[in-house]
Structures are given as C-alpha cells and as structure tokens.
Structure 1
Amino acid sequence: MLLPPYLNFVVTAKNLCFNSFRYVEVDEEHGGEFFYYLTESENKPTEDPLLLWLTGGPRCSAFCGLVFQIGPLKFVTTEYNGSLPSLVYNPYSWTKVANIIFLDSPLGSGFSYSRKYEGYDANDTIWSEQASKFLLQWLVEHPQFISNPLYIAGDSYAGKIVPMVAKRILDGIDEGKEPLLNLQGYLIGNPFIGEKVDENSKIPYAHGMGIISDDFFECRLKPLPSLASTTSGKRILKENQNILHPPPFPDPGCRCYVYTLAYYWANNNMVRKALNIKQETIKEWIRCNRHLSYPIEPKSNIKYHLSLLQRGYRALVYSGDHDLMVPFSGTIQWVKSLNSSIVEDWRSWHVGGQVAGYTITYSNNLTFATVKSAGHTAPEYKSQECLVMIMRWISGALL
C-alpha cells in the first residue's frame, strides 16, 4: 500500500512496496503498543528474508532506518519552506533483497506509546522481551512470512538488544512455541554491546586518527574523576544551554538537515492521518526521545553471541571506520574474544573496483566488515556499498 498522493510523495519506482504501518500491543497491563512500518521486498516478498530492524539511541525512531539508512524512501534535501517535505525512492534500499519491519521500540520511541506512564519504564530486558513478543504476534497476523528466512538486525545501542532478541526466539524454537520461526541469524552495525572496550577504544582511536595530540593522549594515564561525577548534570546543562542559546537551524547542505525535515514531516497532521496515528498518544514526534529515562546497562551481551554462534546461526558485524561513538577498533577486539577460528583473514572488499572496506570471515558463520569512510550509522554515509555488502552476505557469498 502506497501512501496517498496528496502527501506529496515523489516515488519513482513502480514496484516500491510500502505495505503497512500499524500498532501491535506488547504491554497489556499498561496499554503499550509498538508502531511499525513494513516494506516488502522489491524482488520476491514470499521468498526473500524478513528483517526485523531495531534502531538504537535508545529510543530513536525506526523511521531513521526507513528514510536515512536502509529503507526505500529518502527526503529531498531542499530548503524547508513550510510545506510538507517530499520523499523520493532510495535506489540503494535493502528491500532489494529483503522484507523489512522497521519497529519503533522501546515504548516512547517514534509513534510507539503507553497509556500509563509506568509503561515507559524500560531496560534491555524489557526491550528485548517486548520486541520478541511483537514479532511472534506480528507473524501470527501475517502467516505468509512465517516460512521466510528471519534475521534480527539493528545498529548502535540496538546492537546490544539484537542478539538478546535472537536468543529469545531461539529459546522459543527449542521449547516448540508456535509459530515456529525460521531464524537464520542476525546482523548489527557499529554495535554497542556493554563491554568496557566500547568506551576504552575511543581515546586510542581518536589519537590514531589524528584527532587528538600526543600530549592529550598521554593525559589518559592520569587519574580521572568518576564517570558519575562528570556526567550527572549533563542533561540538565544541555537543556539550559538550549534555552539560552537555541541550536541554529541547520543548513540544507548539512547531513543532519534531513533530521529537521523528518520532524516537520512526522508532525504534519495529514501524515499522521495517513499513518493512522492514534490521537492523544504521541503529541510530538521526536527522532530520538531523550525525555524518558533509560538505564544504560554496562552488562555485556557476549554470552548471547556465543549461544547463537555455537548453534550455527549466521552473524554479520559491520562498522563504519570513521565512527568515534563506537570505534571499529573496539568492536574487532570483542569479535576476536569470541574465539572463533579464522577462515579468511583480513582483506579488502570492493564495490565498483574500489575498496569499500575490510573484512574477516570466521568459523561459526561469523563475518566482520568495516565500511570505508562511513560514520556511526554506516548506510547513512555509504548507502551503495552497504547495499552490496548485505546483498552478498544474505546470499551466502563472500564480501
């Protein structure tokens, strides 16, 4: 189902499938419902893999994945003039090879809501439980996808949640829960996983990239204040700064300008009507909701990776090599700690005769890849290269 033409969608591909956008209840006690967008494969929807896409943050909307990264739509980056921002077809959408569910999760993300405030209490365990519950309910309502190969996917902080969801699905399969899902594996991009290396790799990476000087780098050896004492007032300080000095409206040439367009698009009354957004649920759509608390748990999720890999499930870990938030150098360290033997050692992979990144293939169906010159959300920077990467990996070919 395509969105109505009066919404000013400028979609150029005749076979674009933007099929549904609805709610699924995941918290009966508090009246919590997840909102999702389904985009069917442009190839063979009844046969191609089904991807459940989770966006990080936590509490960033899955709309980010849909229009900024891997979905079939993207904004026309013209200067905002008060009219509805236009969307066009993204030729590098992952719907070339997969059906994708973009899920606003946890509650409080995007258009997902709770009727009782207590429903917004969330953590890694609650998020993974509700995402798993959503998927089971969704497949009961869409039985035509039950036999499709299933992959759980996401990036940034969702990289910590993805293997937890996959493990819950595996446990359900082992217990014989209906419907039995055709889980094949998972993929995570620039993932936060809760290991100390996530943070400890930032300074060495910044030094290696020439961002900080030798003198500054050596300061890291000196005693530092506790993390709590340096960050406890960070949010309040930022809110006060925004009041005193409102952030400037970004220039259309800025990469983040599309975030502004997304805000005006998602808060347009016609758009909300077309998406069937329930009234009095989410008064203001925010790309990343920082107003609701979410305890960032340092607990590692390595055990979930080990459980899945030991059972033979496929895994792709990819990292933009220009990411200072979750440096690839830290990611490769914990990947190595999984102690999988190397099948094919570090080598370049190519797109159009050019180096697109570097990759290592491990036993137990594990692949690690960097995406050259990409930042924290790799497909946002290198959409063509990331499409080629996922097409090769999904097909079982070497990158």
Structure 2
Amino acid sequence: MVGHQPQLGRKLRTSNNFITLAWLLVSVLSELLGMAESHTIVETLPGFPGKLPFKLETGYVGVGEADDIQLFYYFIESEGNPKKDPLLLWLTGGPGCSSLTGLVYEIGPLSFNYEDFDGNLPTFLLNPYSWTKFASIIFLDAPVGTGFSYATTSQGYNVTDQIAAAQNYEFLRKWLLDHPKFMSKELYVGGDSYSGFIVPIIVQEIYNDNSVGRTPFMKLNGYLLGNPVTDPGRDANARVEYARGMALISPELYEAVKRSCHGEYVNVDPENVECLKDVAAVTMCLEKLYPAHILEPNCTLNSPKSKGLGWNQAFLEQNPTDILLSLSQPPALWCRPYTYVLSYLWCNDECVQNALHIRKGTIKTWVRCNKTMSAYTSDVISAVDYHRNLTKTGYRSLIYSGDHDLLVPYVGTLGWIRSLNMTLNDAWAPWLVDGQVAGYTMDFSKNHYSMTYATVKGGGHTAPEYKPKECFAMAKRWFAHYPL
C-alpha cells in the first residue's frame, strides 16, 4: 500500500487539476453567456462611395447588473499590420460626447466632406492621418446615454466617474473575451478632454486585476491622453498664466490679478473686491475667443453663458443643430461648432442607423454631446493621484496638449505632471514634422514608468481635430517606441 501512495497522490493532483480547469471553463462560459453584446461587420456606409477600404465592426456589449447597460462601439481594425499592431480603447470627453467625434473629427479613417456639403446627407472623405494606420481602435460611446449607448432601466443612467470607469473596464474585458485574437496584442487605453478623469482609473483597475491573476490577462502597455481634464481647479487657474503668455491679457492686468487674487481665480473670496474686479476684466478680455482654440471666434449665436474662469463644460456640449437648421441662410461668420451639424444630420438618418445596426427605439435622437446627462455625477475631484499611483506600474504614457487650448491650458497640465516628482530625462525641446516645429516635448521617468509630454503647435481642444498631420506623426512615433 505504501508503494501505491505516490500514484494515488498523482491521481488526486490530476483530479484537482481537472476540477480547477472545469471551474475555469465554467467561469469563462458564464461570462460569455452573460454577455448581451451583438456585433456586425459593416462593409458600406451611406455617404461613402463603394465598399469601405477598412474593416469596420459595430455592436453593443452589455455591462452592469443583468447587462442593463448597453454600450455601443465602433471597432476599426488596423489598416497597417493588424497581426502585430496594438489595440487601443478610445474614449471621448464630455462626459457625454459620442465617440463618433473621435472617429470622424479627430483620429479615425473618415472625415466629413465640408466643401461639397449641400444640405442633404453628408458625404465622407478618407482621412490620410487616421491612427488606424498603425493601431486597431475601439471607439466607445460611454458613459451610458452617450451616442447610441442606452440603458434598459431608468436607474441605469445614474452614473458617476467611478461607475463609468468600472463599466468601461467591464466592456473591455467582455469585448476581449469575444475577440480572443486581440488578447495577445499590446493594449493601450486613451482618450481626450473629460476622459482624463476616466482613463487613469481604468488603467489602475487593469493593473490591479493583472497583478492578482484575474482572467483574461490584459497585455496593457500604457495609456495616452490629449488635452486632459485632470484637476479642474488647477486647469482653470492656469488660464490666467496662459492668457498672459499668449498675450491675451496685458502685462499690467496679469500683475494686478495675480497680486489681488493670490493665484486663486476660480473660488474667489466674495469680499475680495479687487480680485473680483480683476477677474471680471480678465473674463472680458477672453469672452470673444472660442475657448477650444484661441484664434477662432466665439459665436454669439450659440455661446453658453460665461462662468468666468471656472470649468465650463457647456463649451464641449454645444448643440447648434436646431438653431442652424432653422435659419433661412447660413451665418456669415464661420464657427467650428457649425461643422458638427453634419454629424447630427448623418447619425439621425434612418438609412445610416440601419447600416450601423442601431437597435430601433433605444434612443430618441442622436446628439454629438449629450447636454441632458443630469443623472451623471462627477465624483473625482482630481485625477493626479491616479497618475501618481501609476508611476509604480512600469507602464508608459503619452500626455499631449494643443497649445492654443484655453479650456485646459498646457501650463496647467505641465503643473500637475511636475507635481509627480519624476526624473526629467529630456528637457523641453522642439519636435519636428516635415522639417517644421510641430510642438515641444519632454520625457520623464520614475522607477520603470515613463511619460512623454508634448505640446502640439496650433492645436486646440482637442489637438488632432486642428492638427491631424502632426498628431498622426506624434502618435505613430510614440506607439513605435521612437522619440518624438
């Protein structure tokens, strides 16, 4: 009997292995069966002649309790080398701005044909500077209530920053389980504007779960953020310093407001009369500028009421459609928000929604940026601590700013980056595209973590919409691990 004990032990270990494997299979199958997603390959789109020259998939993934949240996405496989190129989850800001903004106005393969627009269904041109040339990208409509994403219950629309990040992470896990060939690809999470709050939380959650062996393991290499809202108070206070540097206010006014307000221009002491007076003067100097790009006009036709120097989310959520479409003729003064009208016309067309396989009756009207997300609660005061925690992960990051952005000035972004107390490896220096200065860059590191910071000369909020060629070069170099 003694001689048979080792064999018995082997049998027990084998049995335990089978049990473990069985439980693992049950767990995975349960997750798969619990998904409420559907997806379809889209080969043609209204407004584009012929077959799409890239692989587009659209679909829904159910998240939350009983999959009551249905998140809609556009997935475009890399046009370069899809077997080797990385996978990027891309989030747009707001909160509540559809990821179609990123797809057709910023980094995707299609752009609206503005010059030939005749008031009918908009048409498309191919974007030669699409980031899908070197990465596969998931453009996600999140949080729920954004774009074509919807909830099956009214309670489902009660979302906070933390909940939104958790739901986006759940989406990514389920999407990868349903697309297993992408599990081996390098993974990045990125976005711009308000997603500066959400992306670092998702990255932290992935790191935590990878560390404890949760499946599926995500091959996360890092994250990237453009014009990121990180600390609204710091961002807004930086506007005075930025306005002085860009000659938007006079040196005398800058010195006066700096002296009277002691560096706090948002939460002003109501009894500090001098500070209130100086802040009002600064606001007056800036009110005719489009805050997303200081060289463009702020259209009085649809400008939200000023909140002084405080963070004004309404500038990111303008909906000029009903106003513009009701006019007998186009306004004489061009304004960038007018170009967004084309997205409303296109996405609300029945043929377009059929082509995208949108579920009928799930949304009333598509809007580029949802201004009615009253159930959304911002519960992250600052994302700086998330970035500080991520310096312990060994990931790499790219943070970039359009240097003509007044909403989230680059000086404020540089301020919180410096507060992370990283080692400066490469000091402020120009980076070039076609022999011309495209911006300035710095490189930092801490432990095994690395961060590249870049400004994009002439870029606004957000940079790729204004400088697509330069941002294409910047991102392509960074993804390839080349210096800018």
1:10 CA displacement: 3.7
Distance in 2 (CA, whole Å) between partners of 1:25 and 1:269 is: 24
Residues 320-370 of structure 1: per-residue CA shift (max 9 Å, x gap): 000000000000010111111011111000000000000001123111000
Aligned partner (choices 24, 29, 47) of residue 8 of structure 1:
47
Higher relative contact order (CA 8 A, sep 6+): 1
Is 1:311 the equivalent of 2:350? Answer: no
| Match in the other structure for 1:141 | 178
Conserved? CA contact 1:109–1:289, under 8 Å? yes
1:86-165 matches, cutoff 5 A: 86-165=123-202
Residues 61-87 of structure 1: per-residue CA shift (max 9 Å, x gap): 000000000000100003643421101
Distance in 2 (CA, whole Å) between partners of 1:195 and 1:69 is: 23
1:212 CA displacement: 2.5
Distance in 1 (CA, whole Å) between partners of 2:205 and 2:50 is: 37
| Match in the other structure for 1:25 | 62
| Match in the other structure for 2:458 | 373
Conserved? CA contact 1:30–1:116, under 8 Å? no
1:122 CA displacement: 1.3
1:211-230 matches, cutoff 5 A: 211-214=248-251, 216-217=253-254, 218-219=256-257, 221=260, 223-225=268-270
Distance in 1 (CA, whole Å) between partners of 2:126 and 2:322 is: 37
1:1-399 matches, cutoff 5 A: 1-4=41-44, 7-10=46-49, 16-29=53-66, 31-78=68-115, 80-194=117-231, 196-214=233-251, 216-217=253-254, 218-219=256-257, 221=260, 223-225=268-270, 249=330, 254-293=335-374, 294-297=376-379, 299-363=381-445, 364-399=449-484
Q: Provide closer, same or farther for how the CA distance between residues 100 and 146 of structure 1 changes in structure 2, counting only shifts above 3 A.
A: same
Residues 102-161 of structure 1: per-residue CA shift (max 9 Å, x gap): 000000000000121211111110110000000000000000100100000000010111
1:304 CA displacement: 1.8
Distance in 2 (CA, whole Å) between partners of 1:338 and 1:187 is: 17
The AA in structure 2 aligned to 1:352 is D
Distance in 1 (CA, whole Å) between partners of 2:321 and 2:85 is: 46
Distance in 1 (CA, whole Å) between partners of 2:322 and 2:433 is: 46
1:4 CA displacement: 2.5
Query: What is the TM-score with the length of structure 1 in the denominator?
Result: 0.91
Conserved? CA contact 1:60–1:289, under 8 Å? yes
Larger radius of gyration: 2
Q: Provide closer, same or farther for how the CA distance between residues 244 and 381 of structure 1 changes in structure 2, counting only shifts above 3 A.
A: closer
Instruction: Return 267-276 or 186-195, whichever deviates more.
Output: 186-195
2:478 counterpart SS class = helix
Gaps of 5+ in 1: none
Residues 243-276 of structure 1: per-residue CA shift (max 9 Å, x gap): 9999965669643333100000000000001111
Instruction: Return 49-58 or 305-314, whichever deviates more.
Output: 305-314
Conserved? CA contact 1:2–1:17, under 8 Å? no
Distance in 1 (CA, whole Å) between partners of 2:353 and 2:50 is: 19
Conserved? CA contact 2:188–2:224, under 8 Å? yes
Q: Provide closer, same or farther for how the CA distance between residues 312 and 71 of structure 1 changes in structure 2, counting only shifts above 3 A.
A: same
Residues 150-180 of structure 1: per-residue CA shift (max 9 Å, x gap): 0000000101111111111111111211111
The AA in structure 1 aligned to 2:164 is W
Conserved? CA contact 1:11–1:87, under 8 Å? no
Residues 378-399 of structure 1: per-residue CA shift (max 9 Å, x gap): 0000000001001111111110
Conserved? CA contact 1:267–1:285, under 8 Å? yes
Paired positions, count: 392
* Identity over aligned pairs, percent: 44
Instruction: Return 340-349 or 193-202, whichever deviates more.
Output: 193-202
Q: Provide closer, same or farther for how the CA distance between residues 202 and 22 of structure 1 changes in structure 2, counting only shifts above 3 A.
A: same
1:213 CA displacement: 3.3
The AA in structure 2 aligned to 1:154 is G
Conserved? CA contact 2:165–2:198, under 8 Å? yes
Distance in 2 (CA, whole Å) between partners of 1:381 and 1:339 is: 31
1:272 counterpart SS class = helix
Q: Provide closer, same or farther for how the CA distance between residues 11 and 324 of structure 1 changes in structure 2, counting only shifts above 3 A.
A: farther
Q: How large is the RMSD of aligned CA atoms in angstroms? A: 2.9
Distance in 1 (CA, whole Å) between partners of 2:462 and 2:335 is: 16
Distance in 1 (CA, whole Å) between partners of 2:396 and 2:322 is: 47
Conserved? CA contact 2:226–2:462, under 8 Å? yes
1:34 counterpart SS class = strand
1:100 counterpart SS class = strand
